[in-house]
A and B are shown apart, each in its own frame.
Chain A
């Protein structure tokens, strides 16, 4: 068990170095921050001096080494746009993104699982068919369009919910939360639905397919034959056996929820790290971009690790298999 974790950690570190390197390759094509930094009145000499001072003329591998050396000490430098330390900027904005991501993920998982079970049990029901066909919309519409549609309906036409921002926040130590105020909760509804809709429909379809598969199996027939109630059969026996693939997908989707938050945060002016990243791209704010990509990379790696460990906990077959292979090695 310990060895497995150790091996996975080693792989994770390698992946992160790779992420940092690839993002550095990309930055060369994003553009040049110097004109944004200096304004239109700068002379040619000032431009050259700044390019030199920022180290943009240094060879790529030197810039990369410099970045990695500082990053392992949690020093991500200062933003080109506004000069604030990048680490502080990320810490300040991370709560907003994480709260949005977690609420969206909960929304997607709970509603997705419930609807998946329902549509599996009532396979030919009118409502189930309606849910299935309308879920195609969630899968096929792009996030920004869903966001704009929701804003148009609930903010502009009905006036029920705010169209932008995070509402009032409460400071709990370093963590600013919008979960404790009415305006904060109202502000969360539309972005969370926008962000979670795709995942919700995905999980729903997955649960339904798995459920239909499981319900055909012999042990369900035997359970019924034993006279167990439908509720126990569905929720206790059938659901448990659909969970492994669902956890894999849901776990990986949590990472992409944080990554996809870029679009949702831009549409709803949600003050999180995604919005910060978009601003950084427009400004060619290299320190912010590299720190963000590293953060998202770390997040994916950590989630993958947790998902792997959850497998071990849920499915004894995998656990035994891993151990046996270790012995064979």
Chain B
């Protein structure tokens, strides 16, 4: 009798084990860099957010196509009688990994935490005046003046449990610049689809599926475990995929795309990235201050050739410094001129530079895909119209401080638009360089009328009027040829072909969306 019971128990245990094995789908995921901290408000950085998104949820989220979808908030409206207030309805029945319930108190706490000293997220909430709980599952966010774009800024704003934060003394984010760390640097308690099991920085992070996840019936949730390994060297990352040691990698180098695609059992998925690459030129001094010179340089650039030769077809040439997801983008703006050396030379002659001039091109060599090679190609193209370019390629840590100092006449820059709205481009790249705006506009371009229009966008709630202003600003800077656009980058994720997973334009994999064939 006893042995029968034992056998039954053993049988049941084996049965349970086998059935759970059948559903156990581990994803081994690699990308170039590791998350910098598990504290969701301490760093505003891509790989940090990518890992946080698995564990924590935001009120609204961008799905795998980049569209905004409900997450912990199910509805959001600007109050009809007071456009300064956004009212958000929260999802009911959501619990944290430790079992505590999620409610409006946590939202008030988390948003205030994200605005606190030491937070790296506070710029995105700078228009917020107050966050109030209306009832247990309704929250009002009041802004200083109407802010039609506030909800766009909430997609990476993660929600924490107030009680957990109190219990562990992590009421404010750790201030990285001051060299602080806290309990939340290594520990988590989110509402997300995965729970943190173990983490060794720069080495390995293991996550397991959250069985009480609120999105269980909404998303596929086929992944039961994630093993995340940063692999810095691109060749090693590709080798790890080819040898089957990892299942999915981000940032496949363009020269290896063919190799991965032609390997049985592997594929590369691509999508346009939310990042545009362009050249900045001095609009105020030197030869490039002449509009005709800037126009000549623009039509001397052979964007198709850069795409084909330098980028191995992995780029999206453009005529405007705006990725196609951004509000304000039109096919007309995106269209780019065919290279026309004769016309460019004529413009140069008109401007009095028939014999050309000398200029230095500052270029990063470790920031964008094939950045230095693009600059090398540009040197040759400019040479065709008599501009003698000296290339000065440096690591990003030297390149960016240099160009921000305003000492460069001709430089390369790339720009992503996390809010998916033109205002983000204008605010940093177009507005006159002042204390809090135009921090990335070292070109000397300054137009008070354009500046006024940029500021007006921040409080304009009539979307039709707002979009008309956006179009007017684009027309103004395109007419001045303020920048020389090159292309939008393309993202490549390499993966096993049994995986069905679209490439997200922000380079953020959300693994609850992943399915297996």
Chain A positions near chain B (C-beta within 8 angstroms): 29-45, 47, 50, 53-54, 77-85, 148, 151-152, 155-156, 159, 162-166, 266-269, 271, 275-276, 278-279, 282-284
- Contact partner of B245 (CB less than 8 A), chosen from A152, A163, A275, is A163
Q: Tell me if B244 is interfacial: C-beta within 8 Å of chain A.
A: yes
- Contact partner of A83 (CB less than 8 A), chosen from B185, B395, B401, is B185
Distance in angstroms between the alpha carbons of A50 and B118 in the assembled complex: 12
Nearest-CB distance from B421 to chain A (Å)? 14
A159 touches B243 (CB 8 A): yes
A78 touches B179 (CB 8 A): yes
A82 touches B44 (CB 8 A): no
Q: Tell me if B439 is interfacial: C-beta within 8 Å of chain A.
A: yes
Closest to A42 in B: B439
Closest to B400 in A: A35
Closest to A155 in B: B243
Distance in angstroms between the alpha carbons of A110 and B100 in the assembled complex: 59
B243 touches A163 (CB 8 A): yes
Distance in angstroms between the alpha carbons of A33 and B124 in the assembled complex: 22
Distance in angstroms between the alpha carbons of A40 and B175 in the assembled complex: 17
Q: Contacts A83-B37, A166-B203: A31 and B245 contacting too (C-beta < 8 A)?
A: no
A84 touches B181 (CB 8 A): yes
Closest to B231 in A: A269
Nearest-CB distance from A50 to chain B (Å)? 6
Q: Contacts A43-B439, A82-B37, A269-B232: A163 and B123 contacting too (C-beta < 8 A)?
A: no
Nearest-CB distance from B172 to chain A (Å)? 14
A44 touches B436 (CB 8 A): yes
**B1-59 interface (Cβ within 8 A of A):** 36-37, 42-45
A31 touches B397 (CB 8 A): yes
Closest to A285 in B: B397
Q: Contacts A156-B243, A165-B229, A269-B231: A151 and B397 contacting too (C-beta < 8 A)?
A: no
A31 touches B176 (CB 8 A): no
B residues in contact with A44, CB < 8 Å: 433-436, 439
Q: Nearest 4 A-B pairs (CB), nearest first? A: A31-B397, A78-B179, A31-B398, A32-B401
Closest to A152 in B: B239
Q: Tell me if B366 is interfacial: C-beta within 8 Å of chain A.
A: yes
- Contact partner of B440 (CB less than 8 A), chosen from A37, A40, A85, A267, is A40
Distance in angstroms between the alpha carbons of A32 and B401 in the assembled complex: 7
B residues in contact with A267, CB < 8 Å: 233, 235-236
- Contact partner of B177 (CB less than 8 A), chosen from A37, A43, A268, is A37
B residues in contact with A34, CB < 8 Å: 401
Nearest-CB distance from B397 to chain A (Å)? 3
- Contact partner of A269 (CB less than 8 A), chosen from B120, B124, B178, B236, is B236
Q: Contacts A82-B37, A155-B245: A32 and B236 contacting too (C-beta < 8 A)?
A: no
Q: Contacts A83-B179, A84-B181: A39 and B44 contacting too (C-beta < 8 A)?
A: yes
Q: Tell me if B202 is interfacial: C-beta within 8 Å of chain A.
A: yes
A30 touches B230 (CB 8 A): no
Q: Tell me if B174 is interfacial: C-beta within 8 Å of chain A.
A: yes
B233 touches A266 (CB 8 A): yes
B residues in contact with A53, CB < 8 Å: 177-178
Nearest-CB distance from B205 to chain A (Å)? 12
A83 touches B397 (CB 8 A): no
B-side interface mostly: loop
Nearest-CB distance from A80 to chain B (Å)? 7
B residues in contact with A40, CB < 8 Å: 428, 440
List, sorted by A's number, 8 A–B pairs whose CB atoms are closer than 8 Å.
Answer: A31-B397, A32-B397, A78-B179, A83-B37, A164-B237, A164-B239, A165-B229, A269-B229
Chain B CB count within 10 A is highest, among A29, A39, A268, A269, for A269
B202 touches A276 (CB 8 A): yes
> B144-186, CB under 8 A of A: which get 1 and which 0?
0000000000000000000000000000001111111100010
**B410-453 interface (Cβ within 8 A of A):** 428, 433-437, 439-440
Distance in angstroms between the alpha carbons of A33 and B201 in the assembled complex: 20
Across chains A and B, the number of contacting residue pairs, with CB separation under 8 Å, is 142
Nearest-CB distance from A68 to chain B (Å)? 18
B401 touches A271 (CB 8 A): no
A35 touches B395 (CB 8 A): no
A54 touches B177 (CB 8 A): yes
A83 touches B239 (CB 8 A): no
* Inter-chain pairs besides A42-B123, A81-B36, A164-B239, 19 sampled, C-beta below 8 Å: A30-B398, A34-B401, A40-B428, A41-B123, A44-B434, A80-B176, A82-B36, A83-B175, A148-B235, A148-B236, A151-B236, A159-B244, A163-B243, A165-B229, A269-B232, A269-B233, A282-B366, A282-B397, A283-B397
A residues in contact with B42, CB < 8 Å: 83
Distance in angstroms between the alpha carbons of A78 and B182 in the assembled complex: 13
Closest to B204 in A: A165
Distance in angstroms between the alpha carbons of A80 and B159 in the assembled complex: 25
Closest to A39 in B: B44
Nearest-CB distance from B514 to chain A (Å)? 22
B242 touches A50 (CB 8 A): no
A164 touches B236 (CB 8 A): yes
A residues in contact with B92, CB < 8 Å: none
B181 touches A269 (CB 8 A): no
A164 touches B231 (CB 8 A): yes
Distance in angstroms between the alpha carbons of A40 and B396 in the assembled complex: 13
Distance in angstroms between the alpha carbons of A37 and B43 in the assembled complex: 9
Closest to A43 in B: B436
B residues in contact with A39, CB < 8 Å: 43-45, 120
A residues in contact with B123, CB < 8 Å: 41-42
Nearest-CB distance from B476 to chain A (Å)? 23
Nearest-CB distance from B468 to chain A (Å)? 26
Closest to A48 in B: B435
Distance in angstroms between the alpha carbons of A40 and B401 in the assembled complex: 11
Nearest-CB distance from A172 to chain B (Å)? 16
Closest to B186 in A: A84
Nearest-CB distance from B277 to chain A (Å)? 15
A165 touches B235 (CB 8 A): no
A residues in contact with B204, CB < 8 Å: 165
Closest to B366 in A: A282
Q: Tell me if B133 is interfacial: C-beta within 8 Å of chain A.
A: no
Nearest-CB distance from B48 to chain A (Å)? 9
Closest to A278 in B: B232
Distance in angstroms between the alpha carbons of A33 and B179 in the assembled complex: 13
Q: Tell me if B308 is interfacial: C-beta within 8 Å of chain A.
A: no
Distance in angstroms between the alpha carbons of A152 and B263 in the assembled complex: 14
B232 touches A275 (CB 8 A): yes
